[in-house]
Amino acid sequence: MTHWLVFPLASSRARVRKVRRLLLAAGVVPLCFGAAAVVPIEAQPLRPPPAVDVSTRDPFGNEVVDEIFFAGRVAEAAQRLDIRLERDSADVEALWRGARTSLVAGILEPDPDLAEAWFKRAGALGEAAVTLRADDPEVLYWAAASLGREALQHGPRTSTRLIQRMWDLTHRILEIEP
């Protein structure tokens, strides 16, 4: 049985494009856009989520956090990484994953003030990871990306410092992996 989902859209083109991208990414083809979007959806029986065997997997481990992150649940991944960092603030794997997660959360955040806070957090976590493991390209990459995005949020003086640091990190990556 087909149901029709109708929801109003804001008048701004940016909002319409954003909703269109989200629907297409979810595999839903909208019938029209304008004052409202009409989307056909198929009725699906409710099924319980598959059971996860937590006895063999750490719910805060890298594998689980990565699964959550790549499933698009960025805030949940950030919370799990925060718990890991409370346990061990020198966990390099959690630090660079925290930088990656915060960077993506900042990009997805529509509120500029909250986005800026995410970018600052990403830069701080990336720098902390670099101080602990300066020879890992993955750590260097996410630290540089975080600092570069944070630089876009500041004025010329702060941006220059952050971009110089980003430049240093990217050149260190090229020295390690030419």
Query: Which tens digit of pLDDT belongs to each residue from 76-116?
Result: 999 999 999 998 888 899 999 999 999 999 999 899 899 99
Q: In this predicted structure, what is the pLDDT of residue 177?
A: 84
The residues with which 80 forms a beta bridge, in sequence order, are: none
Query: Which tens digit of pLDDT belongs to each residue from 13-32?
Result: 565 566 566 555 555 555 55
Q: Residue 3: pLDDT above 50?
A: no
Residue spans per domain, the chain: 2-42, 62-176
Of the chain, the percentage scoring pLDDT greater than 70 comes to 67
Q: In the CATH hierarchy, which top-level class contains the domain 62-176?
A: mainly alpha
How far apart, in whole angstroms, are the C-alpha atoms of residue 122 and residue 164? Answer: 17
Query: Is residue 177 classed as helix, strand or coil in its secondary structure?
Result: coil
Q: Residue 1: pLDDT above 70?
A: no
What pTM, to 2 d.p., does this model score?
A: 0.65
Reading the block at residue 133, the tokens are 């493991």
Q: In this predicted structure, what is the pLDDT of residue 7?
A: 47
Q: Residue 9: pLDDT above 50?
A: no
Is the dihedral angle over the CA atoms 60, 64, 70, 75 positive or is it negative? Answer: negative
Query: Which tens digit of pLDDT belongs to each residue from 60-77?
Result: 777 888 888 888 889 999
